[in-house]
Structure 1
Amino acid sequence: MSHPYRRLRDRAFWSRSVAGVAPAAIDPVGRFDLRIGPGDRVATAGSCFAQHIARHLDRAGFTHHVTEPAHPILARRVARERQYGLFSARYGNIYTARQLHQLVARAYGRFRPAEDVWIEADGRVLDPFRPTIEPGGFASEAEMRADRRQHLAAVRGMLETLDVLVFTLGLTECWHAAADGAVFPVCPGVSGGTFDRSRHRFHNLSVAEVAADLRAVVTDLAAVNPRAQVVLTVSPVPLVATARPDAHVLSATAYSKAVLRVAAEEAAQLPRVHYFPAYEIVTGPHARYFAPDLRSVTEAGVAHVMRLFLKHAARPEAAPGAGAPDAAPARAAEPGRGSGTRPVAAPASLADDGEALVAVMCDEERLARP
């Protein structure tokens, strides 16, 4: 007897490609058409997990495209505190596709949020859409607005000159302004601002909404950079907390990641858009890639993701280290000093079980603070 399954490759069968394979050797990447070389400018944005991608690209000899570098006189520690080089521009964590969509619209003057400055009780001034990028806040509103103009110019420069944008989807839950829907990276009152139930609304994005935001980003990017490619990943990191009154955080996490995964699959049907299964590599039943807190991804897990990314995406002429197994913690790099320079890596530490961890900047972590 004959049937279609008899002609399928091993990767189509659980017993041959998951259960029957050593965990570190599992490769769930299907079709992946993107190819990059060391000279290609790869921009990063997204949740905390996206910082790992930038760091490993640098270590493998590829170009992390940074258009908002630290001034050369800044010490490495100071540059990192101000989030220079963590992503391609100093936008901090972009947890949702809606945040990214609105950032692009703000960069080109198509969206001007009504609530665009937070002045704290002690006089410190914060940018509501980047509340943690300047420790201690700005000295004045004029200083904040000048920095924002420079930042949005850097975002435009990034979009117009990148070859590949890697965006890591992190959350569906978000807080936005009731007046115009402007999405904040974290709930007002957590990292600054004052929470007001009459002005701030909680929203849990649906598959349709996330997919629509991703399509809008791809369309906007193609308008200013027709050759640009996009790689979508889903962060494997669970929610710190859920604002849903009807849900346990475990169920809320499962919902959020399912929505993001489906929306990413839909968006990957668009031209020049690719999905890479970082989520599956870290969270599959084969994996043991979480630290004792069951949230932090160990360096071994990150290395597995990046080893496979470079294996499938790197051109033959790529750097010698591309795709090589490497689970060692990263050495801190110098702050970026110009377009195409590399990110500042976080210092390494060790988890209780001996698995190497590398710290990342994560605005969401503040939700769990007393």
Structure 2
Amino acid sequence: MDSASDRPAEPVRRSPYRGNDPRTYWKSAVSGRAPDGLENLYAKKFAIDETTRIATAGSCFAQHIARNMRERGFQVLDLEPAPRQVSTSTGNRYGYGIYSARFGNIYYARQLLQLVQEALGQRAPSDAVWTRDGRYYDALRPAVEPTGLETAELVAAHRRRHVHRVKMLLNRVDVFVFTFGLTEGWVHRESGTVYPTAPGTIAGDFDPDVYEFRNFGYADVYEDFVAFRELVHSVNPDVKFLITVSPVPLAATASGGHVLPATVYSKSVLRAVAGDLATRFDDVDYFPSYEIVTSVFAGNDFFDETGRNVRPEGVDLVMDYFFAEHRPPNGHDDGAAAARAAEPSPQRVVEGEEVFCEEALLEAFGP
């Protein structure tokens, strides 16, 4: 009888998983680690440094990205600044200094696409002026004038200036940072114009014969962003895009279902779109802020008692992962950390979400 040593050795079984990087396995990459201890979570596609001209836009959570980048010395463009005599806090109430132009929050890819089409003279929005209590509002950014304007003509003049500034921004930007926020929106039936909030929330009045609810699906969101990217490249071919998904749940759903599965559906669509865009295009990078805040291993520690507002610790952790790859200009990271320590953290984040987030206003219509 042959001994074991005389038998031929069994060939090593091949597997596409054998020898892969430890970060590709849950056990070695996530299990037993604290939320701030995930190694190689994000690897940048392209560099962002102090010479990079950055534009920021998106949903409420995008405000944190813009603020943190400014604090750390990055060149975040502001093509529509507040008048010099206006304080920062007052300017923020009127939509100044939050993003790279006075867009207000841009929750949907369709909203972003239509804005760029308008800036390039390819689209004129319909039903673009709403009223409330005798005052007039830009329906496409109703929160930037909290008390409205005196006439519809003045609203139109403000919008022409805004759209001109957006066109200037497209020509100057090197990296466009956009945070996907929602899939549920309200659309003008006849023209397809999409609004950042439902008519009747801030201004205007809801008429089901004029407006309809739209829950944008995967194909809608994907195709809208691809069209946006192509339009931007038509005037500025070298622009790159850094995209994220907001971890903030829906304040309310118009789908008729429970808000929890409605939130999961919306975020799942946006996350799938973001992943496919980053896979398809070399000039599109995805940063996993959504996963950092919402992944089950982190528990619920990064949300306050409402389950919607992201705590300062969550925002800071997201930005720490980001700036580990995109190193701030020399000396600015320490200054930003000191500013965070000196500022009352809960007030910093909660106020930002409530004051500058139109969607949060929907809670006022609930029980």
Q: TM-score, normalised by structure 2?
A: 0.90
Aligned residue number for residue 153 of structure 1: 164
How big is the shift at 1:32?
Answer: 2.3
Aligned AA (1:189): G
What secondary structure, in the 3-state scheme, does the structure 1 residue paired with 2:340 have?
coil
Encode CA deviations 1:337-364: one digit per residue, 9 max, x unaligned.
xxxxxxxxxx84537xxx9756231000
Give CA-to-partner distance per residue, 1:296-337, whole Å, 9 cap, x none. Answer: 11111111111111212338xx33344999496387xxxxxx
Is structure 2 residue 122 aligned with structure 1 residue 106?
Answer: no
Corresponding residue for residue 237 of structure 2 = 226
**SS of residue matched to 2:79:** coil
- Give 1:79's match in structure 2, choosing from 82, 86, 91: 91
What's the counterpart of residue 8 of structure 2?
A: none
Structure with greater helix share of residues? 2
Q: Is the 8 A contact 1:10 1:17 kept in 2?
A: yes
Residue 47 of structure 1 is aligned with which of 59, 70, 95?
59
Give the counterpart letter for 1:253 in structure 2.
T
Q: Is the alpha carbon distance of 1:113 and 1:237 closer, same or farther for their aligned partners in structure 2, counting shifts above 3 Å? A: same
The reply to whether residue 244 of structure 1 matches residue 244 of structure 2 is no
The CA RMSD measured in Å over matched residues stands at 2.1
The structure with the largest alpha-carbon Rg is: 2
Distance in 2, Cα, partners of 1:308 & 1:349: 19
Contact 2:42 2:321 in 1 (8 A): no
Which residue pairs with 2:19 in the alignment? 7
Instruction: Tell me the SS of whatever aligns to 2:113.
Output: helix
Letter in 2 for 1:267: L
Residue identity opposite 2:357 in structure 1: C
Q: Is the 8 A contact 2:72 2:336 kept in 1?
A: no
Q: Match for residue 296 of structure 1?
A: 309
Corresponding residue SS for 1:257: helix
Measured in 2, the distance between the counterparts of 1:323 and 1:211 equals 38
Deviation of 1:117 (Å): 1.2
Post-superposition CA distance 1:52-88 (Å, at most 9, x none): 0011101111121110000101122321210101111
Q: Taking CA–CA contacts closer than 8 Å with sequence separation of 6 or more, which of the two structures ends up with the larger relative contact order?
A: 1
Partner of 1:343: none
Tell me the distance in 2 between the aligned counterparts of 1:212 and 1:327: 42
**Alignment counterpart, residue 183 of structure 1, candidates 191, 194, 201:** 194
Q: Which amino acid aligns with 1:258?
A: S
Q: Deviations over 1:110-162 (max 9, x none)?
A: 11122111133x32011100111012101111211111111001111111101
Count of residues in Structure 1 that have an aligned counterpart in Structure 2 = 348
CA distance in structure 2 between the partners assigned to 1:111 and 1:29 by the alignment: 40
Match of 1:262 in 2: 272
Equivalent of 1:162 in 173, 186, 198: 173
Is 1:369 aligned to residue 364 of structure 2? yes
In the alignment, what sits opposite 1:341?
Answer: none
Q: Match for residue 338 of structure 1?
A: none
Q: Mind listing any 5+ residue stretches in structure 2 that lack a counterpart?
A: 1-11
Counterpart CA distance in 2 for 1:325 and 1:160 is: 29
Deviation (angstroms), 1:33: 1.1
Task: Note if 1:313 corresponds to 2:326.
Answer: yes
Report if aligned partners of 1:127, 1:144 keep a CA contact under 8 Å in 2: yes
The CA deviation string for residues 227-256 of structure 1, in whole angstroms up to 9 with x for no partner, is 1110110000000000011x2100000000
Whether the 8 Å contact between 2:245 and 2:270 is mirrored in structure 1 is: yes
* Aligned-partner Cα distance in 1 for 2:148–2:210: 23
In structure 2, what residue type is equivalent to 1:76?
T
Displacement of 1:23? 1.8
C-alpha distance in structure 2 between counterparts of 1:299 and 1:326, whole Å: 12
% identical equivalent positions:
40
1:299, 1:328 within 8 Å by CA — same for their partners in 2?
no
Provide the C-alpha distance between the structure 2 equivalents of 1:356 and 1:127, rounded to a whole number of angstroms: 27
AA at the equivalent of 2:221:
V
- 1:40–1:321 CA distance, 2 compared to 1 (3 A): same
